């Protein structure tokens, strides 16, 4: 009974919060008589979504492909780099300062260079997504891999386990919760990176649609694109959350 109530609340509370936010948005447009050029009401945005579902879905698909491609590339490179840095500590001492300096570079400043180097296709968008995602994934994985309790490592050595066996059976499972923390943070940044790249090169995608519709004073279409973008972001985040609960039920129980 209690678990069923919790499941219902887990669905109803976010829905109620979204409904309250939409109601507040609507009330603000009515109470302050805000022109739709500056802030359209929810009905105007819903009307745009109803009349142009195929167009919005097509632009959302372009952004989704860019996000997934860049994020997948960041996962493989970030985890591989974290494993190398965790296993060979001199490599970590040598490479961490340059990596931190690279991460400190403003991503908005790099976006035009990606367009110059890679052209106007999806490649600069994928590169931007990779750039904003790889460092959080690397840090999360590195923190997990280097925080394995010493007694577990010593136990593995006493059982004559090889370095690879220790890594695979002790260090990696212990690091998975922090790896998923990095993944959840990075999937949010991935959408932001794709939009930044699309704004820089506005030919396709939701970011490009927001820029072009705002330039044409079509604010309801811009807000419809922003709404779709927010929904896409939420869906990707909770996909990672669902994967974490499926693969690491023991971590969820400990957190609870």
User: How far is the CA of 233 from the CAs of 184, 230, 245, 247, in angstroms?
Assistant: 11, 5, 19, 21
Q: What is residue 223's predicted lDDT score, i.e. its pLDDT? A: 92
Question: Which residues does the chain have with pLDDT short of 70?
Answer: 1-5, 9-10, 160, 251-256
The per-residue pLDDT for 133 is 94
The CATH number of domain 41-255, selected from 2.60.120.200, 3.10.580.10, 3.40.50.1970, 1.10.3720.10: 1.10.3720.10
Write out pLDDT tens, residues 124-181.
Answer: 999 999 999 999 999 999 988 888 777 777 777 777 677 777 777 788 888 889 999 9
Contact 207, 191 (CB under 8 A): no
Read off the pLDDT of residues 22-37 as tens digits, 9 standing for 90 and up: 888 888 888 888 888 7
Which phi and psi (to 5°) does residue 147 adopt? -110, 20
Q: What is the pLDDT of residue 18?
A: 84
Residue showing tokens 């302050």: 32
| DSSP code at position 106 | -
CB under 8 Å to 126, separation ≥6 — which residues? Answer: 66, 69, 70, 73
Q: What does the alpha-carbon distance between residue 178 and residue 185 come to, in Å, rounded to a whole number?
A: 11
């Amino acid at each position: 009974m209690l678990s069923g109530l919790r499941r219902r609340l887990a669905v109803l509370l976010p829905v109620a919060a979204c409904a309250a936010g939409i109601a507040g948005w609507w009330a603000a447009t009515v109470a302050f008589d805000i022109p739709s050029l500056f802030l359209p009401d929810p009905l105007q945005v819903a009307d745009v979504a109803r009349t142009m579902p195929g167009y919005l879905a097509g632009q959302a698909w372009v952004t989704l492909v860019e996000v997934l491609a860049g994020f997948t590339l960041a996962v493989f490179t970030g985890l591989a780099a974290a494993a190398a840095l965790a296993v060979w500590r001199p490599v970590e001492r040598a490479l961490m300062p340059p990596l931190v300096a690279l991460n400190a570079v403003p991503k908005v400043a790099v976006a035009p260079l990606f367009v110059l180097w890679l052209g106007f296709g999806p490649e600069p968008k994928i590169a931007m997504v990779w750039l904003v995602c790889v460092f959080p994934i690397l840090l999360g994985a590195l923190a997990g891999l280097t925080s394995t309790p010493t007694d577990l490592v010593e136990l593995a050595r006493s059982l004559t386990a090889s370095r690879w066996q220790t890594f695979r059976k002790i260090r990696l499972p212990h690091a998975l919760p922090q790896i998923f923390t990095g993944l959840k943070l990075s999937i949010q940044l991935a959408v932001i990176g794709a939009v930044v790249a699309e704004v820089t090169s506005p030919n396709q995608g939701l970011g490009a649609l927001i820029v072009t519709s705002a330039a044409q004073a079509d604010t309801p279409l811009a807000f419809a694109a922003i709404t779709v973008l927010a929904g896409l972001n939420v869906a990707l985040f909770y996909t990672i959350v669902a994967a974490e609960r499926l693969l690491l039920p023991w971590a969820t129980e400990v957190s609870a």
